[in-house]
């Protein structure tokens, strides 16, 4: 019995080598609960009806003590729980120890996005591209508060805690794109702290890593910039529509080329150098009126910042 069908469609698609064992245990516990519920509540309702007090009847004294029966209902659940522990521990050990052949990625969590660093040192926000059938180990850290890296399709979830490293690994078994969620409430835009894991073939992965810092084929710099703007969750804090009020950060419509008023007096001309500084060292210049929230630091390559700039230039 290595598979219990998911007849109610409760679980997402299985896309990693860990998923089957987690699901098996889940379905086993689910069906054990259903069966026990039906048997126990069924028997209870039956006895309630059959032995209900009739007018004039007195309650009987309890029957004699039945040691064998008591031992049986103590040890039967113990065996079941022991077995559940064994299966759970087995898949925990499998999920805790990354194979030696894993490729390692760094993951940085910050309010409110995920940043992935490739073995080459290049970084990418919002999308982690990994080869299929290849163990991948993530070494994760947080820049601010407690986050949690959760990929339902892979059945992996691990807290990302400020001041320490945590690791998680998976081996994807199906090509496609899978959602990454933050599973630990981390402030205002927690609900938009998404990313994707894109599982590709080994050849596509090599190609991707080579071309990471160039606009994707068929896209202009500004189009790539628009994608990067969403992928890095800039959009979680910045509105880009004319006339809208600022979000957590200022509305970026029409900012490029204008004079921005700064906290503490003075203005700055919003050009590429200013956008670059705003991304790499957001605290260097604070826009007037935006002192309650802090923009987190981003480590994007120059070509990516230029693409975002090209996109922001189109907003006018
Ligand atoms: C956590 C919320 C947050 C995120 C995410 C964020 N920002 Fe900001 N951003 C702010 C805040 C707050 C300010 C204003 C304070 C300051 O100047 O540092 C700001 C200021 C800016 C400015 C200066 C705006 C002006 O009106 O002069 C630029 C440009 C900018 N951000 C670009 C970006 C880009 C590009 C990204 C994504 C790579 C991004 N921000 C992500 C909160 C955020």
Angle between helices 67-96 and 19-50 (to 10 degrees): 160
CA–CA separation, 271 and 209 (whole Å):
30
Assign residue 266 a region: left if phi > 0, alpha if psi is -120 to 50, beta otherwise?
left
**Residue ranges of E strands in the chain:** 103-110, 113-117, 123-125, 127-131, 135-142, 147-151, 156-160, 166-171, 176-182, 195-200, 259-261, 267-269
Q: Verify whether ligand 1 is closer than 6 Å to residue 226 (CB atom).
A: no
Q: Give CA 31 to chain center in angstroms.
A: 28
Condensed to tens digits (0 to 9), the pLDDT of residues 18-60 reads: 999 999 999 999 999 999 999 999 999 999 999 888 888 888 8
CA–CA separation, 165 and 106 (whole Å):
10
Are the CB atoms for 88 and 80 separated by under 8 Å?
no
Q: Verify whether ligand 1 is closer than 6 Å to residue 166 (CB atom).
A: no
Q: 239 C-alpha to center of ligand 1: Å?
A: 10
Condensed to tens digits (0 to 9), the pLDDT of residues 94-105 reads: 999 999 999 999
Q: Verify whether ligand 1 is closer than 6 Å to residue 256 (CB atom).
A: no
Sign for the CA dihedral angle at 207, 208, 209, 215 comes to positive
- Give me the pLDDT at residue 299, please: 81
What SS3 state is found at 182? strand
Q: Verify whether ligand 1 is closer than 6 Å to residue 250 (CB atom).
A: yes
Q: Verify whether ligand 1 is closer than 6 Å to residue 290 (CB atom).
A: yes
- The whole model's pTM is what? 0.69
- Give me the pLDDT at residue 264, please: 87
Q: 259 C-alpha to center of ligand 1: Å?
A: 16
What SS3 state is found at 216? coil
How large a percentage of the chain has pLDDT more than 70?
99
pLDDT band of 2, cuts 50, 70, 90: low
Q: 211 C-alpha to center of ligand 1: Å?
A: 27
CA–CA separation, 248 and 267 (whole Å):
20
Beta-strand pair 123-125/113-117: antiparallel
Exposure string over 294-306, b if 16+ CB within 10 A, otherwise e:
ebbebebeeebbb
- Give me the pLDDT at residue 9, please: 84
Condensed to tens digits (0 to 9), the pLDDT of residues 239-294 reads: 998 888 777 899 999 999 999 999 988 999 999 999 999 999 999 999 998 887 88
- Give me the pLDDT at residue 216, please: 85
Q: Verify whether ligand 1 is closer than 6 Å to residue 249 (CB atom).
A: yes
Q: Verify whether ligand 1 is closer than 6 Å to residue 278 (CB atom).
A: yes
Condensed to tens digits (0 to 9), the pLDDT of residues 212-246 reads: 888 888 899 999 999 999 988 899 899 998 888 77
What are the residues facing 268 on neighbouring strands? 260
Give all domains of the chain, ordered by start, each with its CATH number: 19-96 (1.10.287.90), 103-210 (2.60.40.420), 221-313 (1.10.760.10)
From 249, 255, 302, mutation site for ligand 1 pocket: most ligand atoms within 8 A of C-beta: 249
- pLDDT of 1 > 60? The answer is no
CA–CA separation, 198 and 177 (whole Å):
4
Condensed to tens digits (0 to 9), the pLDDT of residues 54-73 reads: 888 888 888 888 999 999 99
Peptide bond just before 42 cis, omega within 30 deg: no
pLDDT higher at 293 or 79: 79
How large a percentage of the chain has pLDDT more than 90?
71
- Give me the pLDDT at residue 233, please: 85
Q: Going by CA atoms, what residue is nearest to atom 7 of ligand 1?
A: 295
pLDDT higher at 136 or 61: 136
**Residue ranges of E strands in 224-300:** 259-261, 267-269
- Give me the pLDDT at residue 298, please: 85
Q: Verify whether ligand 1 is closer than 6 Å to residue 248 (CB atom).
A: yes
Are the CB atoms for 304 and 213 separated by under 8 Å?
yes
Beta-strand pair 259-261/267-269: antiparallel
Q: C-alpha distances in angstroms, 178 versus 12, 130, 196, 207?
A: 10, 11, 5, 20
> How far from each other are the two terminal CA atoms of the chain, in whole angstroms?
62
Are the CB atoms for 248 and 237 separated by under 8 Å?
yes
CA–CA separation, 182 and 150 (whole Å):
6
Q: Give CA 288 to chain center in angstroms.
A: 34
């Amino acid at each position: 019995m290595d598979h219990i069908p998911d007849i109610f469609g409760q679980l997402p698609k299985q896309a990693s080598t860990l998923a089957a064992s987690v699901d098996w245990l889940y379905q086993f516990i689910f069906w054990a609960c259903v069966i026990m519920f039906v048997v126990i509540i069924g028997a209870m309702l039956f006895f309630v009806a059959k032995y209900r007090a009739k007018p004039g009847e007195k309650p009987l004294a309890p029957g004699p003590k039945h040691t064998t029966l008591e031992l049986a209902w103590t040890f039967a659940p113990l065996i079941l729980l022991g077995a559940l522990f064994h299966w759970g521990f087995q898949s925990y050990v499998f999920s805790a120890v990354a194979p030696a052949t894993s490729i390692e990625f760094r993951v940085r969590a910050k309010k409110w996005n995920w940043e992935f660093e490739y073995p080459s040192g290049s970084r990418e926000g919002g999308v982690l591209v990994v080869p299929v059938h290849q163990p991948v180990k993530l070494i994760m850290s947080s820049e601010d508060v407690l986050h949690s890296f959760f990929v339902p399709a892979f059945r992996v979830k691990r807290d990302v805690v400020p001041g320490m490293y945590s690791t998680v690994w998976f081996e994807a078994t199906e090509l496609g794109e899978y959602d990454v969620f933050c599973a630990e409430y981390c402030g205002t835009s927690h609900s938009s702290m998404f990313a994707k894991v894109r599982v590709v073939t080994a050849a596509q992965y090599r190609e991707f890593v080579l071309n990471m810092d160039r606009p994707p084929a068929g896209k202009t710099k500004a189009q790539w910039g628009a994608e990067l703007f969403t992928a890095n969750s800039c959009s979680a804090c910045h509105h880009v529509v004319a006339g809208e009020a600022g979000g957590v950060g200022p509305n970026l419509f029409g900012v490029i080329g204008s004079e921005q008023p700064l906290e503490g007096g003075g203005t700055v001309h919003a050009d590429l150098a200013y956008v670059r500084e705003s991304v790499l060292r957001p605290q260097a210049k604070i826009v007037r009126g935006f002192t309650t929230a802090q923009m987190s630091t981003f480590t994007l390559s120059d070509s990516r910042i230029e693409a975002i700039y090209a996109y922001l230039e189109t907003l006018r």
